[in-house]
Structure 1
Amino acid sequence: MIYLLRHGQTDYNREGRLQGQTESQLTELGMAQVQAMADLLKGEIGDEPGWRIAASPLKRTRQSAAIVAQTLGLEVEIEPLLIEVGCGVWENQLYDDLRAAYPKDFTGPGWCFRSPDGERFEHVDDRVRAWLRALPPEGERKVIAVAHGISGSLLRGAYLGLSSQLTLIQDTPQDAIFRLTEGRVDRLACRPVLAA
């Protein structure tokens, strides 16, 4: 079984700024969102042994994984294959500015793969599929993956065997966990967290 969660809200999320592989830290709301996810996970797996946490190496996912690890009494393993898509020169820019500068490219599903020097869908897809292939067989998997909006969508798409189009229209919540087991992906909603 895999429990997949996205990091909580970051400074860049709040500002409407594209992160990609640049660093941004969790806001207070983001930390509260992750704590809600950690509490939900605690209710799901309790003290069952054998679980591990794999997190993207970026700061926002490491911060999120640390909150989950503290709640569950686990250690965090850094997993480079879960890192977010690299968006090249688009990173650090405001979404509104990108929409104005790239009206044809910065729209619709898959926009994050259209930056002039960013990663392409196939590269990120290959990464997350390699991570899935390296896991124990389905019945022996006990992993919590802390990833990102896009890499998490591609991970779910790869697990379900979705087309690229269906993969790219999945939602990317910061207040829910996805449980991947027996060929299904179930969304588990967390308790509501309000902005301060």
Structure 2
Amino acid sequence: MTDASDEDIRHSEKKKRIQAARQKIMAGKTGGEKGLIIVHTGKGKGKSSSGFGMILRAIGHGMPCAVVQFIKGGWETGEARVLRDHFAKECQIHVMGEGFTWDTQDRQRDIAAASAAWEKAKELIRDPAMRLVLLDEINIALRYDYLDVDAVVEFLLTEKPPMTHVILTGRNAKDELIEAADLVTEMTEVKHPFKSQGIIAQAGVEF
């Protein structure tokens, strides 16, 4: 067996220092567990996909879940199909929106649809048996003031059960929501096939 090289020794010592620092940080964390308010926003892809991924992760841990879709596009997503066909007992899905704002071209109709979706969302979040609720594309409804962001934030901070996680997705998350959230991730677009090559949305990638 050959002796460790200087490079190997330096690598080992570096990892030991990182491990010690990590252990010191974790020793000071005494907050325990809590239900989180999670925001996925930004111009890049992956906001809803990440939310659905967390739904599947929660199902794997035996946690009851629900999805409320505030915006319904022109196609059914693969994620919704899988959950509906294979995990209907573990996860409720409520498609409440009628389409993108440029499709409906009717503000009052969009406000009514968003309000109905929010009422369903509140019902699900209030249920203490529900462990994770995904509010897909709610940020669009908030961006166009179809819903009052202050009312949404107040509800999440005062009525959400302590151990319920809520995920809110969509571009242009409002500052009030970001301030109230426990975890915020911004998806950044670096390159997109539609812009660079004119490639349209494809099954299995975009929906």
TM range (shorter): 0.3 to 0.5
TM-score between the two structures when normalised by the length of structure 1:
0.40
Larger Rg: 2
TM-score between the two structures when normalised by the length of structure 2:
0.38
